[in-house]
């Protein structure tokens, strides 16, 4: 009895191993033990899905986050390959391969796209006095940046004294100043991002504060001019009628 039971278990394990190994994914760069591929932004990743020789004529299906990937004709029988050039949105994307009509047996890999913060250069900004100043710095990175700092003319921005506020959400860092003044808010702003993997990077904003422009309410002015014009016209017509009557 024990022999029969052991034989049955062994037979089941053999079938299970063959079943599991029937479909496989290889990748360049290779995935780790957690089936995660460390990729770099805009550097191609090769994925190859294969069935064993007994299923060479079976069709394969690729999914990206549960959405079907369109394959070229002939790239789905027994062996199917993908070339992925990672973009920001591919970070965390899951690629799954399975036999068509049998999604129970599938293999997957996940992309971990590494990229540095994309900030550099100088931006010219002009704002009127007493208007609001809003500056934004793209801080997207993987791994996440360690810190973001803002400086004005070489000194750290004083959030308490000069009416500044900063919002960081992992995607952008936004510096805001309400009702700016020439004496306080004009000059060279610098957004500096510190990354645990890459060198520090910065973007500069040359902010010029111009005099406040006097703005007149154009609509009411036009309406007033129309009223004045009509009044003058009616007065002239009335006066002309009186002159005509006197001459008769």
101 DSSP assignment:
T
Query: 19-114: which CATH number, 1.10.10.10, 2.40.50.140, 2.60.40.10, 3.30.930.10?
Result: 2.60.40.10
State yes or no: pLDDT of 187 exceeds 90.
yes
Separation between Cα atoms, residue 191 and residue 118, nearest integer Å: 12
pLDDT tens per residue, range 117-142: 989 999 999 999 999 999 999 999 99
How confident is the model at residue 28, as a pLDDT? 97
State yes or no: pLDDT of 10 exceeds 70.
no
Reduced to 3 states (helix: H, G, I; strand: E, B; else coil), residue 192 is: strand
Pairing relationship of beta strands 122-128 and 133-138 according to DSSP bridges: unpaired
pLDDT tens per residue, range 61-75: 999 999 999 999 889
Structure tokens at 216: 């007149």
Q: Where residue 226 falls among pLDDT bands split at 50, 70, 90?
A: low
Q: What is the average pLDDT score of the chain?
A: 84
State yes or no: pLDDT of 245 exceeds 90.
no
Pairing relationship of beta strands 23-28 and 45-51 according to DSSP bridges: antiparallel
State yes or no: pLDDT of 235 exceeds 70.
no
Alpha-carbon distance values, 91 to 36, 47, 71 (Å): 11, 16, 22
Q: What does the pLDDT average to over 159-187? A: 92
Separation between Cα atoms, residue 76 and residue 80, nearest integer Å: 5
Lowest mean pLDDT among 15-29, 47-61, 113-127: 15-29
Q: What does the pLDDT average to over 86-95? A: 96
Q: Where residue 8 falls among pLDDT bands split at 50, 70, 90?
A: very low
Q: Where residue 163 falls among pLDDT bands split at 50, 70, 90?
A: confident
State yes or no: pLDDT of 224 exceeds 80.
no
State yes or no: pLDDT of 244 exceeds 70.
no
State yes or no: pLDDT of 243 exceeds 60.
no
Reduced to 3 states (helix: H, G, I; strand: E, B; else coil), residue 104 is: strand
| Nearest Cα residue to 128 out of 210, 6, 46 | 210
How confident is the model at residue 53, as a pLDDT? 76
Give the whole-number percent of the chain exceeding pLDDT 70: 77
DSSP secondary structure letters along 138-161: E---BSPPSEEEEEETTEE--TTT
Cα angle 23, 26, 32 (rounded to 5 degrees) comes to: 110
Separation between Cα atoms, residue 65 and residue 85, nearest integer Å: 16
How confident is the model at residue 234, as a pLDDT? 64
Identify the residue with better confidence: 96 or 14: 96
| Nearest Cα residue to 197 out of 87, 84, 40 | 40
Contact assessment for residue 171 and residue 138, using Cβ atoms and an 8 Å cutoff: yes
Residues sharing a CB contact under 8 Å with residue 84, sequence separation 6 or more, in sequence order: 39, 44, 45, 47, 90, 95, 111
In the chain, which segments carry CATH 2.60.40.10?
19-114, 122-210
CATH number listed for the domain at residues 122-210: 2.60.40.10
How confident is the model at residue 150, as a pLDDT? 97
């Amino acid at each position: 009895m024990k022999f029969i039971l052991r034989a049955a278990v062994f037979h089941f394990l053999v079938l299970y191993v063959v079943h599991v190994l029937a479909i496989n994914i290889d990748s360049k760069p290779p995935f780790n033990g957690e089936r995660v591929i460390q990729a770099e932004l805009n550097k191609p990743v090769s994925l190859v899905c294969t069935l064993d020789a007994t299923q060479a004529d079976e069709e394969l299906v690729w999914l990206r986050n549960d959405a079907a990937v369109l394959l070229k004709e002939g790239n789905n029988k027994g062996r199917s390959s993908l070339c992925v050039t990672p973009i920001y949105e591919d970070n965390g994307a899951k690629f799954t391969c399975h036999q068509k009509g049998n999604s129970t047996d599938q293999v997957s890999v996940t992309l971990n796209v590494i990229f540095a913060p994309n900030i550099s250069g100088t931006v010219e900004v002009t704002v009127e006095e007493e208007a609001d100043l809003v500056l934004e710095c793209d801080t997207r990175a993987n791994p996440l940046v360690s810190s973001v700092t803002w400086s004005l003319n070489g000194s750290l921005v004083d959030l308490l004294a000069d009416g500044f506020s900063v919002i960081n959400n992992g995607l952008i860092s936004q510096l805001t100043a309400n009702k700016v003044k020439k004496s306080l808010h004009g000059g060279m702003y610098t957004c500096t991002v510190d990354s645990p993997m890459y060198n520090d990077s910065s973007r500069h904003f040359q902010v010029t504060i111009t005099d406040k422009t006097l703005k007149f309410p154009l609509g009411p002015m036009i309406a007033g001019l129309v009223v004045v014009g009509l009044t003058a016209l009616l007065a002239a017509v009335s006066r002309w009628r009186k002159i005509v009557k006197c001459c008769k």
